[in-house]
Structures are given as C-alpha cells and as structure tokens.
C-alpha cells in the first residue's frame, strides 16, 4: 500500500480533495481506513510485547513461550481485540 500518499493528500487541503472528489477521494478514504487499522494492530502488538517484557519471568514465559520468535507469536495472536 502506498501510505506515503496520505500525507501529501492531507497537506493539499480540502479544495484539492473537492476537485478530485469522484476518483481520488473515495480511494484515499479507503487507504486511510486501512492505514488506521494497521496502526491500531501494530500498537496492540507492541503493547502485548511490552507487557510480556515487563512481566515477571514466569508470566512472560506464558505470554511468549521460550524459543518462539516474537514475529511468529504475533502472527499466531491474530488481530487485536
């Protein structure tokens, strides 16, 4: 996804968005929703990893078992609530 398109789109202002209302505005809105979902998921996963790191050793081992890579754990954990 081209998330770098969101910043210039927002910076160009409402008049620019209005002039491209039929084609670009709905596509940029859809891209913004996808970016917001990705940001929320990333934040939830980082919070889970921070909680595992800050927990005592026994609780941390329950959250992320020994030998399991964090990326694999995040893939298994699925989307945040």
- Eight-class DSSP state of 3: G
CB 35 within 8 A of CB 3: yes
pLDDT for 76: 63
Q: Can you say whether residue 67 is alpha, beta or left, with left for phi > 0 and alpha for psi between -120 and 50 degrees? A: left
Residue pLDDT, tens place only, 4-49: 878 888 888 888 888 888 998 899 899 899 889 888 888 887 887 7
CB 61 within 8 A of CB 53: no
Per domain, the residue ranges of the chain are: 3-77
CB 74 within 8 A of CB 41: no
CB 34 within 8 A of CB 2: no
Q: Say what the pTM is.
A: 0.62
């Amino acid at each position: 996804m081209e998330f770098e398109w969101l910043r210039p789109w927002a910076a160009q202002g409402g008049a620019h968005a209005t002039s491209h209302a039929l084609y670009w505005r709905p596509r940029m809105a859809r891209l913004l929703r996808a970016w917001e979902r990705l940001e929320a998921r990333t934040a939830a996963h980082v919070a889970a990893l921070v909680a595992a790191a800050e927990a005592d050793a026994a609780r941390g081992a329950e959250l992320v078992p020994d030998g399991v890579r964090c990326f694999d754990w995040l893939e298994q954990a699925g989307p945040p609530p």
